[in-house]
Amino acid sequence: MTAMTKETPLDTVAIRAQFPILSREVHGRPLVYLDNAATTQKPQSVIDALANYYSTMNANIHRGLHTLAEEATAAYEDVRKQVAEFIRASSHREVVFTRNTTESLNLLAYTLGARLRPGDEIVLTSAEHHSNLVPWQLVAQRTGAVLRFIELNDDQQIDVDTARAAINANTRIVSIVHMSNVLGSIAPVAEISEMARSVGATMIVDAAQSAPHLPIDVAELGVDYLAFSAHKMLGPTGVGVLWGRQELLADLDPFLGGGEMISVVTREESSWAALPHKFEAGTPNIADVVAFGAAIEFLNDVGMDAIAAHDADLTGYAVEQLSRLEGLDIYGPSDPAERSAVVAFNYRDIHSHDVATILDRSGIAVRAGHHCAQPLMRTLGVPATARASFYLYNERSEVDALVDGLLEAGERFGFERGA
Amino acid sequence: MASNREAQNPVDLDDLYRDVILDHYRSPRNRGVRDDATVSAEGFNPSCGDEIQLSVAIVDGTLNGLGFGGSGCSISQSSASMMTEALSGRTLDSAREMSKHVQQMLTDDTFDLDSVDLGDLEALSGVARFPVRIKCGLLAWKVLDQALANASGEAVNDDSDIPTRVTSG
């Protein structure tokens, strides 16, 4: 560690220098970007990879016989191997590229859902993003399957006991969020996987928030499927990942039909391409997948352990500083070890939209609203929250700016300054 | 570019958070459901969760009184509160006219405030300069349009993305 890293395990000065957008101003103030749970900013290497792909090797993949097609195919398939390594998958054939986490989860809901019968149970948590709720509602309506929910415990966390109360012999599918995009809570996935396995249920994890912030080892988690998005981990928009155990993916029917995913096609029927191509119908998002490779390289260079430590440190600091403000409610587990990267809050009686608008005038970007988790908002008993979310380039000084901005919002709404 | 436009014409938070708005947010007028309501309507902004329920007592073509409920940000709630005050005692035609003008003011930052008398509602004129907040200001008025249309049995031609629902009585 150098002298610059005394705050957290990361040299944020050096890291920030690689993100061009972080040097821009918003309303005449330096940008303080605290909306990373929505999407992260991109380093120059990712931007360059995208431009470089189109400048030097653009071609359609897998079917061309010319040099460009060969290069583009190799670049695309190399990223599949990178992703497999990143999540410690046993084979790159287990990595399917989709548009986003939502599409990955819809693929599973559609294909696995076709096997469900009335009375079968699908277990979710009460903290799901709509992307891991609505697809299963559609399945339940279609099949007569029943949705059950793992409730939050008193500390606003999914724990083994609340999971045990929801999983039983009728459970066919358990699909849960790894890290909540509102609470920042980290669910005990390995233990819940064990429970799912013991009743013969399929275990799915929405890792949209966790893959960017925690080292992921799919074998260690013991899950059957895992879904996440490139754009929340320095990559471009438009690329999602579905990882699944090879024997399970091989056994699933295709989701979308078309070119690329077939082996032999006659007028009447078709046979499917081998994994993972069976699930990648049509021309994929080649350029963005290639650029995603540069994002993974960036994360690997910094190190996921260091990133996890940095994000946890910053989250702890934010919780500590925000807690000092009178009239500020923070949601999520009280134990800092059980949360990371996200701090949702409400400040006095100021609606989160007003908080967000006022912070924006100080160059501070936060999210406000229901965070695509309306049922969770109802569980928490609030219509909406503000949310600050952090990543590897954020610094403690930005948390301080947030606190300052909140005090200013308080003043505007008639509260005296003074934490 | 937006930033150039802002440089020529700076947008200040004071344009949005006028004292009148904060006053109506803190001390909403006509909060609650009217017992004598002849028509009611409700609407919400799916993207942000703001919601307004409106009940209106209409007698012989005149709005005798309005009551509102719901939750949301200072802009959505103060807009509703000011609306209930401004429309009370107006005829249906006059209320429709005012709704049209307020909606123009909320969506067009070149709207000429001198051309009409909107009273306290003029405090909402700054909303037009905060594009993401326009739908907050509009919500109550879209709900009103639905309620008034229902009162006279008309269909509303609404191209906004605010879902509204009308109930009678």
% of residues, chain A, pLDDT over 90:
94
CATH class assigned to A3-43+303-412: alpha beta
The answer, for A375 touching chain B at a CB cutoff of 8 Å, is no
The answer, for A16 touching chain B at a CB cutoff of 8 Å, is no
Q: Which two tokens stand for residue A389?
A: 């979310």
- Report ipTM (2 d.p.): 0.88
Interchain CB distance below 8 Å, A353 and B72: yes
CATH of domain A48-300: 3.40.640.10
Query: Which tens digit of pLDDT belongs to each residue from A184-207?
Result: 999 999 999 999 999 999 999 999
Query: Which tens digit of pLDDT belongs to each residue from A270-326?
Result: 999 999 999 999 999 999 999 999 999 999 999 999 999 999 999 999 999 999 999
Contacts of B130 in chain A (CB under 8 A): 357
Contacts of B6 in chain A (CB under 8 A): 27
Average pLDDT over residues A108-133: 97
Contacts of B131 (CB under 8 A, 6+ apart): none
Distance CA B7, CA B147 (A): 41
pLDDT band for B8, please (50, 70, 90 cuts). Answer: low
* Beta bridge partner(s), residue A147: A122
Interchain CB distance below 8 Å, A413 and B6: no
Average pLDDT over residues B63-89: 97
The answer, for A408 touching chain B at a CB cutoff of 8 Å, is no
The answer, for A92 touching chain B at a CB cutoff of 8 Å, is no
3-state helix, strand, coil in chain A (%, to 5): 45, 20, 40
Within 10 angstroms of residue A140's Cβ, the number of other Cβ atoms is 19
Q: How far is A227 from chain B (nearest CA, A)?
A: 24
Query: Which tens digit of pLDDT belongs to each residue from A314-361?
Result: 999 999 999 999 999 999 999 888 999 999 999 999 999 999 999 999
- pLDDT of B167 over the 80 cut: no
- Domains delineated in chain B: 12-168 (3.90.1010.10)
Kindly name the residue from A68, A69, A372, A407 that is annotated as catalytic.
A372
Distance CA B24, CA B123 (A): 11
Q: How far is B8 from chain A (nearest CA, A)?
A: 13
Q: How far is A383 from chain B (nearest CA, A)?
A: 7
Distance CA B121, CA A57 (A): 58
Per domain, the residue ranges of chain A are 3-43+303-412, 48-300
Residue with tokens 């954020």: A394
Q: Which two tokens stand for residue B160?
A: 């906004």
Interchain CB distance below 8 Å, B13 and A370: no
Interchain CB distance below 8 Å, A354 and B17: yes
Distance CA A210, CA A212 (A): 5
Single pTM value for the model = 0.93
Pairing state of beta strands A385-389 and A342-347?
A: antiparallel
Distance CA B40, CA A186 (A): 44
Distance CA A201, CA A115 (A): 12
Can you say whether the dihedral through the CA atoms of A251, A256, A258, A260 is positive or negative? negative
pLDDT top residue among A334 and A175: A175
Whether the Cβ atoms of residue A411 and residue A384 lie closer than 8 Å to each other: no
Within 10 angstroms of residue A69's Cβ, the number of other Cβ atoms is 17
Nearest to A182 by CA among A52, A377, A404, A391: A377
Q: How far is B98 from chain A (nearest CA, A)?
A: 26
pLDDT band for B7, please (50, 70, 90 cuts). Answer: low
% of residues, chain A, pLDDT over 70:
98
Give the type of residue at A245: R
Interchain CB distance below 8 Å, B47 and A369: yes
- Identify the residue among B1, B8, B22, B48 best suited for mutation to test binding to A, counting A beta carbons within 10 A and taking the highest: B48
pLDDT band for A6, please (50, 70, 90 cuts). Answer: very low
Average pLDDT over residues A359-383: 94
A314 annotated active-site = no
